[in-house]
Structure 1
Amino acid sequence: MKRNKGVKLVLALAVLASLLAGCGGNNGNNGNKGESETPAEQTGANSSNGDEAGSKSFANPQLEVAVFQGGYGREYWDAVAESFMQDHPGTKINITASPKIGDLVRPKIVAGNPPDFMYIAGGDNTPVLNGLIKDNALLDLTDVFTEAGEDGAALKDKILPGILESPAIAPHGDGKIYLAPYNFGVMGLWYNKALFDAKSLASPKTWDEFFAMNGAAKENGRALFTYQGMYPGYLEEIIVPAIYNVGGQEALDQFFNYDPEFWKSDTFKQAFGILERIASEENALMKGTVALNHTQSQTEFLQGKAMFIPNGSWFEDEMKDAPREDGFQYGFLGVPSLDPAKPVTALTSVEQMVIPAKAKNPELAKAFLKYLYTEKSITLNGEKAKGVLAVKGAPDLVKAYLGDTTYNVYKAVDSGMGTVNGTFKIVAKGSKYIPADEVYKPLSSIINKQMTLDEYAEKLYKIYADIQEELKASAE
């Protein structure tokens, strides 16, 4: 299943292309693979490897770390903990990893005894993270990123542009950083490159070109489109770029900040109208799609039942053992444009790491966080998790551990592909709404013709107005 996308950046990463050129995601989650939920204790080595940071001693040498165990697994966290302990003799890091990490840490948070460091992701776990943000219960990490390191450079200069300034990382609007970026993903539509090459088919640049390919889909015995029907949050990968494509940042701000008037706008009608068109055109939607989970629909796609499917940069690794049609090759399109004058766009997302304000060992937690951005750690992350940190140069550092297709997805923006992202503003404490669920869960009803766009817009208008009232009341 997809990497967590509940953490999104409220801006287009317009300069990402040039940076990656020089450097080389709800509703969804990281694709739980059934890894163990049992804690693992790591014991540090007795001698330093000569790392200059290894000379630093800590008043409290023990660190409690809790991490989400999904598609990235836990092997990276075990490896980087061992590496950190070797470079910092005498320290001891205890790793607890679970797909249900939220359930494990929630009682500790409530009791005022949270882990020292947490990586929280996955749709079932993110309410815990959102609760910590609402309660102002996260440690201010601004100094971690702004203070000069031993090389004289600040860590903030290593992070991809726009990320540290976004509400996903600085959620309170005061410019202070409370969440640290982890892996980032690139999302859009995928296709069978081998088929397109064999049939001399060009990937569509606009949605009109996309729907015009329905004829080619029929000729090759497949539907035009499928998606992870039981998890309609994957359709975000189409919707967010479409909103930005039509209405720009102003429309995205309306959408993510609960302006009810968004649901009466032309931008809404055009962007969400893509789904209505998929529902109405013969052969556009693969039969049975809405009843399929993520692996089922993705396997159907790999076996040649549909021409396109939305997914992210984790796709190739997640489905590495799945059956597929002869000669299948992953091809990444991005998201076609509604405006022919604008480029194909990709959705991007960044996952987060935090230190609770009540952590018993914030000093060591900050040191561990800084360590995660070193080349050694970035390379381990690529090797063990097949992940790419939101750091300049990370794609090329981990190229040897990524499939060619996955690497090329990260480099796709070099060819002029736009990038965009966003995250829903945190709702009022105690709100009865989970915005992503309210927006994305009904989309299958639209595609299944059980709900019209007008009915959907009317419902969301009322929900957004209600959320605004909750925010207003909480501010008084």
Structure 2
Amino acid sequence: MNLPSSRRTLLRLSTVAGAATVLSGCVTAGGDKPEQTKGTVTEDNPLGVPEGADLEVVMFNGGYGEEYTQHAVTLYEERHPGATVTHEGLQKVGEVLQPRFVAGDPPDVVDNSGAGRLDIAALAAADQLTDLAELLDAPSVDDPGVKVRDLLLPGVVEDGTLDGTVRFLNYSYVVWGLWYSQSLFDQHGWTAPETWDDMLALCEEIKGAGIAPWTWQGKYPEYMMDPLQSLAAKAGGLDLVYAVDNLEPGAWQQDGMLAAADAIHGLVTGGHILQGSEGLSHTEAQNAWCNGQAAFIPCGSWIEGEQQGVTPDGFDMTLAAVPALTSADALPYGAVQGASSESFLVPAQAANPRGGLDYLRCLFSGEVARGFAESAKAMPVVRGATEGLDLSSGLASVASTLESAGEHVFGYKYRTWYPELAVEVDTATGELLGGRADAQQWADRIQAAADALAADDSVVKYER
């Protein structure tokens, strides 16, 4: 969340930095899995957590905060009163945990999100992640008659599956789009545009009011890649999305992708972006937006929680779907990019993997999920968790946008599958937004990287 942090792949403040370095040792190091004891399986202990076994939880402390993971610790301690639970929040999960994976001494639970997160695909290929099927088939904390898997929204299990095995589970359901202040728009009589031509016309009106139409998190180009690839998906449909993920020749040079890149590049050449945005961090850009310096900012649905401390009263932040690129788009205007995010995993060499599984059973309970929605202002992946809650303006708009999208929710997987390609995509996008490359140069650069990856037999490939 979060994508960067991890898109937060999530989560998603930025793309994985140095992913190959982070996992190079993990693939070969660690030795055999340690002997792992299993406690007595009972109705109250369906996953066989050993009595008195300590538990270590390491999580990414980003926009969602630590309140919900601490809440799960409380539930776990109630269930296992003889255990000592250690909980730690980090900013750079991969950097801190790499040596521990290499040494064969990882924590029992990891929230693998944020900038510099571990390469999940490489961890899975190295058999460093526990298969979560047993957790999914376990009785839920809320209702023993309902399995954990049946609590999860559609697509969550699929998102965490690599080569037929569930290696991780995401916690937040993220929707990406364009954010604006409803009160600002009401003040000026503006409405969120449904076509790109309408967007450009509105940008001129916004500039006339003395406000920059857009800002973006320039130090993390992944943020602007989200509206670009949304425009491309709408133009080219799911065939384009799958071609990108499947590393097909020419996927990044398709007409829909080029047109989307040209549209985003046009924001630069048209003077529609707040001056200096390229040098802003995610928080700096988001603060400028909250302070009324720009009308639109691209982001995932974690932004409301992340900005709680600085958003003015009455701002009424609202999510809008990325406009349709043309009238001939393959997907409708209301289609949105959405996926589960904020990845939780149990390392295969953990000292207490059974405790790790049971901690996740607590985390995915309705009680913790409701608390997450309230504290993080974000959508959990647990069914019905937001029912009956008084939703904030941002979270309510996320729910409304998802409802309007219906079956037209799409998502790319190349960031999770191929982190090194994602780094090249973001580098090229930074050049595009900096005015140092045009759409064709942007596409050619990324396609060359994708082709090289496709030809590299040392990299495990995935397919949709």
TM category (shorter chain) comes to 0.7 to 0.9
Deviation at 1:161, TM superposition (A): 0.7
Normalising to structure 1: TM-score of the pair?
A: 0.81
Deviates more, 1:366-375 or 1:334-343: 334-343
For residues 42-101 of structure 1, the C-alpha deviation after alignment (integer angstroms, 9 at most, x for no partner) is xxxxxxxxx973798634522122111222222332232122211333233221221123
- Secondary structure at the residue paired with 2:193? coil
The one-letter code sitting in structure 1 at the alignment partner of 2:255 is D
Tell me, yes or no, if the aligned pair for 1:222 and 1:307 is still in contact at 8 Å: yes
Matched, 1:374 2:360: no
82, 93, 117: which one pairs with 1:90?
A: 82
Tell me, yes or no, if the aligned pair for 2:156 and 2:169 is still in contact at 8 Å: no
Provide the C-alpha distance between the structure 2 equivalents of 1:79 and 1:189, rounded to a whole number of angstroms. Answer: 31
Aligned to 2:320: 333
For residues 281-339 of structure 1, the C-alpha deviation after alignment (integer angstroms, 9 at most, x for no partner) is 2x322222212222222222223322211122222232233376x95332221211114
* Structure 1 residues 320 and 147: CA distance shift in structure 2, 3 A: closer
Aligned to 1:447: 433
Gaps of 5+ in 2: 17-41
- Secondary structure at the residue paired with 2:343? strand
Matched, 1:58 2:50: yes
Deviation at 1:117, TM superposition (A): 1.4
Tell me, yes or no, if the aligned pair for 1:187 and 1:312 is still in contact at 8 Å: yes
For residues 398-429 of structure 1, the C-alpha deviation after alignment (integer angstroms, 9 at most, x for no partner) is x34x523223323322234642212217668x
Deviation at 1:458, TM superposition (A): 2.1
Deviation at 1:221, TM superposition (A): 0.8
Matched, 1:467 2:449: no
Provide the C-alpha distance between the structure 2 equivalents of 1:190 and 1:156, rounded to a whole number of angstroms. Answer: 32
Provide the C-alpha distance between the structure 2 equivalents of 1:7 and 1:405, rounded to a whole number of angstroms. Answer: 21
- Secondary structure at the residue paired with 1:126? coil
- Secondary structure at the residue paired with 2:413? coil
- Secondary structure at the residue paired with 1:213? helix
288, 291, 297: which one pairs with 1:309?
A: 297
Provide the C-alpha distance between the structure 2 equivalents of 1:444 and 1:188, rounded to a whole number of angstroms. Answer: 19
Counterparts of 1:238-257 in structure 2, within 5 Å, are 238-257=227-246
* Structure 1 residues 332 and 6: CA distance shift in structure 2, 3 A: closer
The one-letter code sitting in structure 1 at the alignment partner of 2:403 is D
Provide the C-alpha distance between the structure 2 equivalents of 1:227 and 1:216, rounded to a whole number of angstroms. Answer: 19
Aligned to 1:300: 288
* Structure 1 residues 409 and 199: CA distance shift in structure 2, 3 A: same
Aligned to 1:21: none
* Structure 1 residues 427 and 469: CA distance shift in structure 2, 3 A: farther
Normalising to structure 2: TM-score of the pair?
A: 0.83
Matched, 1:187 2:187: no
Q: How many residues align?
A: 426
The one-letter code sitting in structure 2 at the alignment partner of 1:83 is L
Provide the C-alpha distance between the structure 2 equivalents of 1:71 and 1:394, rounded to a whole number of angstroms. Answer: 19
Deviation at 1:113, TM superposition (A): 1.5
Matched, 1:160 2:153: yes
* Structure 1 residues 377 and 53: CA distance shift in structure 2, 3 A: farther
Aligned to 1:124: 116
Aligned to 2:104: 112
342, 347, 350: which one pairs with 1:351?
A: 342
Provide the C-alpha distance between the structure 2 equivalents of 1:320 and 1:369, rounded to a whole number of angstroms. Answer: 27
**Identity across aligned pairs (percent)?**
25
* Structure 1 residues 413 and 263: CA distance shift in structure 2, 3 A: closer
Gaps of 5+ in 1: 10-24, 30-50
* Structure 1 residues 358 and 164: CA distance shift in structure 2, 3 A: same
Tell me, yes or no, if the aligned pair for 1:427 and 1:467 is still in contact at 8 Å: no
* Structure 1 residues 208 and 66: CA distance shift in structure 2, 3 A: same
Provide the C-alpha distance between the structure 1 equivalents of 2:87 and 2:205, rounded to a whole number of angstroms. Answer: 51
Matched, 1:4 2:6: yes
Tell me, yes or no, if the aligned pair for 1:347 and 1:421 is still in contact at 8 Å: yes
Aligned to 2:414: 424
The one-letter code sitting in structure 1 at the alignment partner of 2:401 is A
Aligned to 1:18: none
* Structure 1 residues 296 and 458: CA distance shift in structure 2, 3 A: same
Provide the C-alpha distance between the structure 1 equivalents of 2:118 and 2:70, rounded to a whole number of angstroms. Answer: 22
240, 257, 264: which one pairs with 1:268?
A: 257
Deviation at 1:205, TM superposition (A): 0.7
Aligned to 1:139: 130
Provide the C-alpha distance between the structure 2 equivalents of 1:419 and 1:469, rounded to a whole number of angstroms. Answer: 31
* Structure 1 residues 391 and 97: CA distance shift in structure 2, 3 A: same
Provide the C-alpha distance between the structure 1 equivalents of 2:303 and 2:226, rounded to a whole number of angstroms. Answer: 13
The one-letter code sitting in structure 2 at the alignment partner of 1:312 is G
Deviation at 1:466, TM superposition (A): 0.7
Aligned to 1:280: 269
Counterparts of 1:69-88 in structure 2, within 5 Å, are 69-88=61-80
* Structure 1 residues 232 and 171: CA distance shift in structure 2, 3 A: same
Provide the C-alpha distance between the structure 1 equivalents of 2:460 and 2:394, rounded to a whole number of angstroms. Answer: 47
14, 20, 23: which one pairs with 1:27?
A: 14
- Secondary structure at the residue paired with 1:152? coil
